[in-house]
């Protein structure tokens, strides 16, 4: 039963990451995104995956850890894309001055 609750927790967290990725992609700015926060979340998912592997308790829940890790990774990629766009916008603004 604990695996069911663990999966529900991961699914609940997991719903927010695609929404965040789409929002960040559409906003085209990294100004409201914390890279440190995203990396900390990634470390947490890696630790969850390692805990499953090291305890020998590999079950369907590991899929949700991996899925969330991949989705947060996409958020990190979008962060760097948006940071590049922010720098380009700043250069364009400076050129207009």
Query: How many angstroms separate the CA atoms of 26 and 20, rounded?
Result: 10
- Across the chain, mean pLDDT equals 95
- Helix 35-55 crosses helix 61-96 at what angle (to 10 degrees)? 160
pLDDT at res. 71: 97
pLDDT at res. 97: 79
- What residue has token string 């969330």? 68
Write the pLDDT tens digit of every residue in 40-79. Answer: 999 999 999 999 999 999 999 999 999 999 999 999 999 9
- Is the pLDDT confidence value at 27 over 90? yes
Percent of the chain with pLDDT over 70: 100
Residues present in the chain in total: 97
CB 87 within 8 A of CB 32: no
CB 38 within 8 A of CB 79: yes
Task: Pick the range with the lowest mean pLDDT from 9-13, 29-33, 48-52.
Answer: 9-13
The model carries a pTM of 0.90
């Amino acid at each position: 039963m604990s695996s069911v609750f663990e999966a529900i927790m991961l699914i609940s967290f997991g719903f927010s990451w695609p929404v965040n990725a789409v929002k960040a992609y559409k906003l085209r700015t990294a100004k409201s995104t914390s890279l440190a926060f995203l990396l900390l979340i990634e470390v947490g998912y890696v630790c969850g995956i390692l805990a499953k592997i090291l305890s020998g308790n590999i079950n369907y829940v590991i899929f949700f850890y991996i899925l969330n890790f991949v989705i947060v990774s996409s958020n990190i990629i979008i962060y760097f894309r948006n940071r590049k766009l922010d720098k380009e916008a700043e250069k364009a603004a400076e050129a207009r001055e």
